[in-house]
Structure 1
């Protein structure tokens, strides 16, 4: 059996290799490389972009740091102003319609209240809550009951600040133009002084007054009055040192000395200062419990 010559065999292998190479080249030509659809930057370009980002980041961070404290401070100031305005508005509303603090301006209510004590006044009295005998009430000067008193001068700025704080209710009222006394007679009551034991009588019923300052008489001034409609008869607990209804009743029948209910600011119901004497103020309901209607 004859065999092909060696030269022919080598030529066939060479031709087959050439075909494989050609086929490989053709396949490479028909399949796009990764850069054909998704071109990628060269390595140096990528590094350059990364360098730009690294450079930009610290600059932005520094700008944010410069802005952030200022923005935080502005937000804090806005919040403080809003909260402060709300607090002042609430304080003003409370002081106008509900309760108000007052200084005690004189010794006329000793020993129940001492000069410069601070009390809280319920301003729902007498509008929504009626007056009762024995109530301690703050009222506007009915007319020349008070002597002019000099106002303490703290300087123009401090004076205005004190006025503003008092107006909105942050400071107690100095009670200028106001008095504080105890209600003894209501509209229509017949009040007299004194019986054989030196006691007051209301509508014919003699009363014992535990609130009168020790050593003081119920009254050194005799009177026999009937409280007019819409008015109250008031007296201080320190009877010998109180310029009250008795001293201003020129007519002698109660029409001048009685105080118009419309002038009543409210009822003092609690002593808040000094702390050592703080407590509720009683109207001594038991003292007047047996008093008949007028």
Structure 2
């Protein structure tokens, strides 16, 4: 029986082509898995400002629980990342873009560095009556004063008075660094102070980078333990 001899050059070429094809298939599957994880499980974000200091630092990379926001609502004390649907950030300012970084961010390989998202702490949920400030200079939620240990050292609960009732399926949010955070308080006059649950990407659960800042974020539900259920209809 005769067998066709394959020249060494042809054999090597065929093997190399198969390896290249296999490499790109593995890469494609990896990108697909990353995109699915970003969309349905967890997503990375970059912290560009000091509005959440000292809980989150400038340049921290954090991950949010996307799945949790799909199947449940945020609670008082949670740190949430949400779309800037109200235009709180000045979008006219030029933003440096890198096509490769943008693409990797889109599929979930790199954290999102765009200015289309914000991160704040939930102080009031749907139906809550949130007021500042009490005689002791504290924020009250449904008439109960809260003591906020996460506040930036030296920062007051708020230097801006407010009195709001949060609509259902919305949140009233503040930064931990109150005198460096243009949060819900600053947007009461223009009627955009509340964040819709539909705009929430998820709750921050870990600071992943830099490693020196690595920590799990569990919210601050204990701060609101004594807050009664809202009585606002």
Task: Give the TM-score normalised by structure 2.
Answer: 0.92
Matched, 1:289 2:225: yes
Work out the CA distance in 1 between the residues paired with 2:109 and 2:69.
23
Over residues 73-127 of structure 1, what are the superposed CA-to-partner deviations in whole Å (9 max), with x where a residue is unaligned?
A: 1121121111111111111111111111000121110111111110001112322
SS of 1:90's partner is: helix
Deviation at 1:282, TM superposition (A): 2.3
Q: 1:150 aligns with which of 89, 94, 101?
A: 94
Asked whether the equivalents of residues 200 and 218 of structure 1 are also in contact (C-alpha less than 8 Å), the reply is yes
Q: 1:212 aligns with which of 151, 157, 174?
A: 151
Deviation at 1:191, TM superposition (A): 0.6
SS of 2:68's partner is: coil
Work out the CA distance in 2 between the residues paired with 1:103 and 1:146.
15
Aligned partner of 2:48 in structure 1 is 105
Aligned partner of 1:190 in structure 2 is 129
Aligned partner of 2:74 in structure 1 is 131
Deviation at 1:66, TM superposition (A): 2.5
Q: 1:259 aligns with which of 195, 204, 213?
A: 195
Q: 2:111 aligns with which of 153, 157, 172?
A: 172
Aligned partner of 2:39 in structure 1 is 96
- Aligned positions of 1:29-48 closer than 5 A: none
Task: Give the TM-score normalised by structure 1.
Answer: 0.74
Question: Normalized per residue, which structure has more strand?
Answer: 2
Asked whether the equivalents of residues 138 and 264 of structure 1 are also in contact (C-alpha less than 8 Å), the reply is yes
Aligned partner of 1:237 in structure 2 is 176
Q: 1:77 aligns with which of 20, 28, 39?
A: 20
Asked whether the equivalents of residues 86 and 192 of structure 2 are also in contact (C-alpha less than 8 Å), the reply is no
Asked whether the equivalents of residues 73 and 197 of structure 2 are also in contact (C-alpha less than 8 Å), the reply is no
- Count how many residue pairs are aligned between Structure 1 and Structure 2: 228
Over residues 163-197 of structure 1, what are the superposed CA-to-partner deviations in whole Å (9 max), with x where a residue is unaligned?
A: 21111111110042111000000000011111122
Question: Normalized per residue, which structure has more helix?
Answer: 1
CA RMSD of aligned residues (A): 1.8
Over residues 187-244 of structure 1, what are the superposed CA-to-partner deviations in whole Å (9 max), with x where a residue is unaligned?
A: 0001111112211111111111011101100000111111012211000000001000
Structure 2: which 5+ runs fail to align? none
Q: 2:216 aligns with which of 276, 280, 283?
A: 280
Task: List structure 1 segments (4+ residues) > 6 angstroms apart after TM superposition.
Answer: none
Matched, 1:224 2:163: yes
Work out the CA distance in 1 between the residues paired with 2:138 and 2:85.
27
Work out the CA distance in 2 between the residues paired with 1:132 and 1:269.
13
- Radius of gyration: which is bigger? 1
Asked whether the equivalents of residues 104 and 116 of structure 1 are also in contact (C-alpha less than 8 Å), the reply is yes
